[in-house]
């Protein structure tokens, strides 16, 4: 016990650990306004305990809750040409990218991983709405292709969680070309007779809906998710009338035959395990407490440079 260990070290530790603390312990539900405590939100997977509203869940958190024991290996995605059009509006696209990367700590708007869910090997891809509204550019296209190729190599189903404001305008025509590119990726899975399951989360719109998000073998949506091609505001401007309550929401799409199911986030994992095991011809899931899976080690099947545990 001395001055160093009693005073300096705690001070230094607190300087470093301060960043680990959530900046806001309370989050306001954007639907009902209830203040929700961060620990409770982590437990409910960002679903409001008062009104059931499904708030954005970033890919990394989603994967931690999805994969057995929170263990998954990132599938590397080939980098895309940065700012291919040298685009600028008020701000440079390159700058917008940098600040999105700073804010989210992620490289881009999609994360791809492999791992087990209920002892069922899968590949998963999730779009990050907090990264430039999840918009689809070259990188997202590359990520979907990498995910499909990995699924085909390993003979696993691909589960894709969509969330996007649409195409990334700053990549112009190249963002539009991700519609056919991602469609080719889906065709790789279909040719290999592997299940492609889309989980549509809030919001899934524009060119994303009009390509890979609507080409799944199974479409499941989270409750209340906005799913559309043209957004409600554009439609209201075109037809000059108010749209009905719930228009373009998950339940409405289910009613109109565009989805197979609407499932709350807390049940999604079980749904996905049951469906993938049925489609892959596997025995029913063994329920109950199982030992945590071995940490990823073998480099030939786990090529990611930075395994996430």
Partner 1 sequence: MRGHIDAIGNPGAPMHTYLDFEKPLSEIEGKAEELRAMARSNAEMDVEREAAALDAKAQSLLASLYSDLTPWRKCQVARHPDRPHTSRYIADLFTDYTPLAGDRGFADDQAVLGGLARFNDRPVVVLGHEKGANTQGRLTHNFGMARPEGYRKAVRLMDLADRFSLPVVALVDTPGAYPGKGAEERGQSEAIARATEKCLSIGVPMVSVIVGEGGSGGAVALASGDRVAMLEHSVYSVISPEGCASILWKDAGKMREAAEALRLTAQDLATLGVIDRIIPEPVGGAQRAPEDTVASVGIAIAELLAELDGTEREALIAARRKRFLDMGANGLAA
- Among residues 120, 195, 134, the alpha carbon closest in space to that of 162 is found at 134
State which residue, 64 or 164, has the beta carbon closest to partner 1. 164
Per 3-state DSSP, what percentage of the chain is helix, strand, and coil (rounded to 5)?
40, 20, 40
Helical ranges in the chain per DSSP H: 3, 9-17, 38-43, 59-66, 93-104, 138-154, 172-176, 178-191, 206-209, 232-239, 250-255, 265-279
Q: How far is the CB of 55 from partner 1 (least distance, A)?
A: 23
CA triple 212-203-185, angle to 5 deg? 15
For residues 1 and 239, which CB has a smaller minimum distance to partner 1 in the complex? 239
CB of 128 or CB of 171, closer to partner 1: 171
What's the min distance (Å) between Cβ of 244 and partner 1? Answer: 9
Closer by beta carbon to partner 1, 36 or else 138: 138
Question: C-beta of 278: minimal distance to partner 1 in Å?
Answer: 23
The answer to whether 195 and 279 have CB atoms below 8 angstroms apart is yes
User: Which residues on adjacent β-strands are paired with residue 124?
Assistant: 113, 159
Kindly tell me which of 48 and 147 has the beta carbon lying closer to partner 1. Answer: 147
> By the 8 A CB rule, do 266 and 220 touch?
no
* Shortest distance (Å) from residue 166 CB to partner 1: 8
Cβ-based nearer residue to partner 1, 9 or 91 = 91
Q: How far is the CB of 264 from partner 1 (least distance, A)?
A: 23
Q: Are 158 and 124 in contact (CB under 8 A)?
A: yes
Count the neighbouring beta carbons within 10 Å of the beta carbon of residue 101: 14
Query: Measured from the CB atom, is 229 or 279 closer to partner 1?
Result: 229
Please state the closest distance from residue 164 (CB atom) to partner 1, in A: 12
- Smallest separation, CB 214 to partner 1 (Å): 4
Render 185-252 in DSSP notation, one character per residue: HHHHHHHTT--EEEEEEEEE-HHHHTTGGG--SEEEE-TT-BB-SS-HHHHHHHH-SPPPTTTTBHHH
Which residues of the shown chain bind partner 1 in the complex (CB under 8 A)?
81, 83-90, 138, 145, 167, 169-177, 179-181, 183-184, 186-187, 206-207, 209-215, 227-230, 234-235, 238-239, 243, 247-248, 256-258
Question: Nearest distance from residue 226's CB to partner 1, in Å?
Answer: 11
Q: Alpha-carbon distance 175 to 20, whole Å?
A: 35
Q: Which is nearer to partner 1, 45 or 174 (CB)?
A: 174
């Amino acid at each position: 016990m001395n001055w160093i260990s009693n005073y300096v070290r705690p001070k230094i530790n607190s300087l470093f650990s301060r960043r680990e603390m959530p900046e806001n312990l309370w989050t306001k539900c954007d639907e009902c306004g209830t203040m929700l405590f961060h620990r409770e939100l982590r437990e409910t997977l960002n679903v409001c305990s008062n009104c059931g509203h499904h708030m954005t869940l970033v890919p990394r958190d989603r994967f931690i809750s999805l994969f057995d024991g929170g263990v998954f290996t990132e599938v590397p995605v080939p980098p895309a040409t940065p700012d291919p059009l040298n685009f600028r509006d008020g701000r440079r696209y390159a700058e917008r990218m940098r600040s999105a990367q700073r804010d989210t700590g992620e490289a881009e708007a999609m994360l791809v991983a492999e791992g087990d869910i209920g002892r069922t090997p899968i590949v998963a891809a999730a779009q990050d709405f907090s990264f430039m509204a999840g918009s689809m550019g070259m990188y997202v296209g590359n990520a979907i292709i990498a995910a499909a190729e990995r699924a085909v190599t390993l003979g696993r189903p691909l589960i894709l969680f969509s969330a996007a404001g649409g195409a990334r305008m700053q990549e112009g025509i190249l963002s539009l070309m991700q519609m056919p590119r991602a469609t080719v990726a889906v065709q790789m899975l279909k040719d290999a007779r592997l299940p492609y399951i889309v989980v549509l989360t809030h919001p899934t719109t524009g060119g994303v809906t009009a390509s890979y998000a609507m080409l799944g073998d199974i479409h499941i949506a989270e409750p209340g998710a906005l799913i559309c091609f043209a957004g409600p505001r554009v439609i209201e401007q075109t037809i000059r009338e108010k749209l009905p309550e719930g228009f373009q929401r998950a339940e409405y799409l289910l009613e109109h035959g565009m989805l197979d199911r609407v499932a709350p986030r807390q049940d999604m994992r079980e749904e996905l395990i049951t469906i993938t095991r049925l489609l892959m011809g596997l025995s029913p899931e063994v329920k109950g407490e199982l030992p945590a899976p071995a940490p990823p080690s073998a480099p030939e099947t786990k090529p990611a440079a930075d395994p996430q545990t």
